[in-house]
Amino acid sequence: MESQDQHSPSSENEVESCVRCGQRACVPGLDLCTPCTVSVRVELSGGLVCLERYLARWAAFDAWLTERGLGSAVA
């Protein structure tokens, strides 16, 4: 039995399926179907918002330390 790479179609006419859900044809160049593309972008956007808030809190803590002469939160 031959094993084929999951990311390469067995023939030129076969459409690759989404790497996330595996149920739908993927958008050319993205390896994701349209619903998964939207979902991944929403998740990524939410993650960046969380990261921005986290870093802003560290910056505020660093400013608080500096105002009190307690050093810096940055190593």
pLDDT at 3: 47
Task: Tokens for 41, please give them.
Answer: 């972008």
- Count of structural domains, the chain: 1
Does the pLDDT of residue 5 top 70, yes or no?
no
Cα dihedral sign, 49-55-58-64: negative
Residue 31 identity: D
pLDDT at 75: 73
For the segment 25-75, what is each residue's pLDDT rounded down to a tens digit?
A: 998 888 999 999 999 999 999 999 999 999 999 999 999 999 999 999 887
What residues make up the domain containing 57? Answer: 13-69
pLDDT at 12: 55
24, part of any domain: yes
74, part of any domain: no
